[in-house]
Amino acid sequence: MTQVVRSLDQWRHIAGSNGYRQKVAGFVPTMGALHQGHRSLIDRCRSENDLTVVSIFVNPTQFNDPKDLRNYPRTFEKDLELLEAAGVDYLLSPDYESIYPDDYRYQVQETSFSAELCGKSRPGHFTGVLSVVMKLLQLVRPHRAYFGEKDYQQFVLIKEMARAFFLQTEIRSCPTIRDDDGVAMSSRNALLSPDGRSRAAEFARLLKAPMNSKERMDALANVGTVEYIEEMLGRRFGAIRIDGVRLIDNIPLEEPN
């Protein structure tokens, strides 16, 4: 059974015990509203480590839109069922005051790549992400931590942060998991209307379709409000708003169409 830990004092006691320190721990940080994409990260983690720790913490410092934070799906009981079925050892689910006893006065900031792609329209987003991930890595002290490639910019920033601060945790990426209609699995997908879901599938299709940049942008304009389509790091990245829901995706450029 998954042990739920909400108190950081309790967690420090667990993490400081011989039973924890003498084993290889893997870590999957999440904001809850878990789906099969998260399950794939957990399964990979369990296959490569002795212990699996998952965190659920809806991190307010990475939301630049208060409405987006209010609307973010919260499904704790359902999430716990998934974690127990997956064989997770520990669920760490602290509150804001525990994670931010300084009320976010101290922050981890990257000054280059975090201003590109999603960072252009979400000021402060990646500072919030890096700050909370740094805190969680310090608490859990895992040997390995797992992140999905759907949020590829986030993965790169976290991997480089770990290297820059000489963290002992190995940051590993896992492939994007997609539904049958091609849509990258995301907690935000639950906020889409049926029509919005159909347009999300069209977004995924057009992102990888063989066409030039103007053709792609013209086609996507009929799907939703395009935030960006850019190519870098050997990938094509895209962000779009459908039904007021912001969706992101990316594909390797060498991926067959």
Neighbours of 74 (CB within 10 A): 14
CATH 3.30.1300.10, applies to 187-251: yes
Select from 60, 45, 8 the least CA-distant residue to 173: 45
For 12-21, what is the mean pLDDT? 97
For 43-64, what is the mean pLDDT? 98
The DSSP bridge partners found for residue 229 are: 238
For 143-165, what is the mean pLDDT? 98
The band of 44, judged by pLDDT with boundaries at 50, 70 and 90, is very high
Select from 154, 142, 83, 147 the least CA-distant residue to 118: 154
The SS3 of residue 206 is helix
For 132-154, what is the mean pLDDT? 98
Q: Is the pLDDT of residue 106 over 80?
A: yes
For 125-152, what is the mean pLDDT? 98
Residues with catalytic roles: 38
Q: Which CATH architecture has domain 3-174?
A: 3-Layer(aba) Sandwich (3.40)
For 89-111, what is the mean pLDDT? 98
As a whole number of Å, the end-to-end CA separation of the chain is 42
The band of 167, judged by pLDDT with boundaries at 50, 70 and 90, is very high
The band of 32, judged by pLDDT with boundaries at 50, 70 and 90, is very high
What is the token pair recorded at 128? Answer: 């919030």
Q: What is the chain's mean pLDDT, rounded? A: 97
pTM for the whole structure: 0.96
The pLDDT assigned to 211 comes to 95
Cα(145)–Cα(35) distance, integer angstroms: 18
The pLDDT assigned to 254 comes to 77
Predicted confidence (pLDDT) per residue in 174-188, tens digit: 999 999 999 999 999
Q: Is the pLDDT of residue 257 over 60?
A: no
Percent of the chain clearing pLDDT 90 (strictly above): 98
The band of 255, judged by pLDDT with boundaries at 50, 70 and 90, is low
DSSP labels, 94-152? --HHHH-TTTT-S----SSGGGSTHHHHSTTHHHHHHHHHHHHHHHH--SEEEEEGGGH
Alpha carbon of 136 to those of 11, 18, 41, 50, 70: distances in Å?
A: 11, 20, 17, 19, 23
Domain spans of the chain? 3-174, 187-251
Residue 198 near residue 226, CB atoms below 8 Å = no
For 160-166, what is the mean pLDDT? 98
Select from 70, 41, 69 the least CA-distant residue to 55: 41
